[in-house]
A = this chain, B = another copy of it.
Amino acid sequence: MATGRTHRTATRSRGIPEATVARLPLYLRALTALSERSVPTVSSEELATAAGVNSAKLRKDFSYLGSYGTRGVGYDVEYLVYQISRELGLTQDWPVVIVGIGNLGAALAGYGGFASRGFRVAGLIDADRAMTGKQVAGLTVRHTDELEPLIKESGVSIGVIATPAGAAQAVCNRLVEAGVTSILNFAPTVLNVPDGVDVRKVDLSIELQILAFHEQRKAGEEAELRDAEAAAAAAAAQSGAVERGTAGTAGTAAGTAAGNAAAAKKRTGQGPDGDVPAVMPA
């Protein structure tokens, strides 16, 4: 998660839980789609499905924003779009600078989801002089030397780092020095920033490793399933209790009660909650 967490302690009234904040963009996207289809109102159940969460969670989330729904009816789509946008700060313009225009930086520069959400790419920066002057996604790439003036002229407060890992901290320092207070880091490295600066990181390799962990476990579970079924069958035959110690010398197998066989399949997709996304350039 973010390196420099700003700690809120006192006043509770405006304290929207972090987990809720992380889901607001999800709701906003779903609502925008409804809005485009001119759907006037939506229930928590419908919206939750569209956003990929459950309805209790959605209602709880919205309750932190205020009472924007109507009992017996649902939520007014347009009104909610506005309220969430405002809460997220998307009703204002956010100039963003992207540093490191390799494959990934170029992809980010051309990403359509930015402009539609109030983000504006104010400039592209690369350290390679061979890149400077080139046009990428309709913008001219500028040299790192121009980083500070660009930030100050355009009032940039959000920076995106898409450089190789080795350059990231130096770039980060310059961004912060120049006044940037929020950083989205695609380089696979930990950034040190002073308090008051927010860092979010996106790391592809980490995401894949998490998937690999679950994938491995699934493979292991198939074996367990067979074990559990066998054990259950044996238990049924004998009317005896099924008991097992911890699996011997590690490996992939783990002791699992037979009753878990059903629960084992529960692992549904869509596990956004914890955040921690990821990526990085060559």
The reply to whether the CB of A256 lies closer than 8 angstroms to some CB of chain B is yes
Q: State whether A52 and B3 are in contact (beta carbons under 8 Å apart), knowing that A179-B275, A182-B211 are contacts in the complex.
A: yes
Contact with B along A248-281 (1 / 0, CB 8 A): 0010001111011011111111111011111111
B22 adjacent to A274 (CB under 8 Å): yes
Interface size class of A (residues with CB under 8 A): 35 or more
Please choose the segment from A37-45, A91-99, A123-131 that sits at the chain B interface, where 4 or more of its residues have CB less than 8 A away: A91-99
The reply to whether the CB of A168 lies closer than 8 angstroms to some CB of chain B is no
B202 adjacent to A271 (CB under 8 Å): no
Q: Which residues of B contact A10 (CB under 8 A)?
A: 256-257, 259-260
Please choose the segment from A24-32, A70-78, A139-147, A232-240 that sits at the chain B interface, where 4 or more of its residues have CB less than 8 A away: A24-32
Q: Which residues of B contact A24 (CB under 8 A)?
A: 209, 213
The reply to whether the CB of A113 lies closer than 8 angstroms to some CB of chain B is yes
A276 adjacent to B13 (CB under 8 Å): no
B108 adjacent to A268 (CB under 8 Å): no
Query: Which one of A89, A204, A277, A280 has the greatest number of beta carbons of chain B within 10 Å?
Result: A277
A9 adjacent to B263 (CB under 8 Å): yes
Partner of A51, one of B52, B190, B215: B190
Expressed in whole angstroms, the minimum distance between the Cβ of A50 and any Cβ of chain B is 7
B155 adjacent to A277 (CB under 8 Å): yes
B22 adjacent to A192 (CB under 8 Å): no
The reply to whether the CB of A21 lies closer than 8 angstroms to some CB of chain B is yes
The reply to whether the CB of A63 lies closer than 8 angstroms to some CB of chain B is no
Which residues of A212-258 have CB atoms within 8 Å of chain B's CB atoms? Answer: 212-218, 244, 246-247, 250, 254-257
Expressed in whole angstroms, the minimum distance between the Cβ of A230 and any Cβ of chain B is 16
B207 adjacent to A204 (CB under 8 Å): no
Which residues of A46-75 have CB atoms within 8 Å of chain B's CB atoms? Answer: 50-52, 66
Partner of A89, one of B113, B152, B184, B216: B216
Q: State whether A113 and B195 are in contact (beta carbons under 8 Å apart), knowing that A103-B103, A155-B277, A254-B11 are contacts in the complex.
A: no
Q: List 30 A-B residue pairs with CB atoms under 8 Å apart, sorted by A's residue number.
A: A6-B217, A9-B257, A9-B263, A11-B244, A13-B246, A21-B210, A30-B190, A51-B190, A52-B190, A88-B216, A89-B215, A92-B279, A103-B103, A103-B106, A103-B107, A108-B279, A111-B280, A111-B281, A117-B209, A155-B277, A181-B215, A183-B211, A184-B211, A194-B267, A194-B268, A198-B211, A200-B210, A200-B277, A201-B272, A202-B277
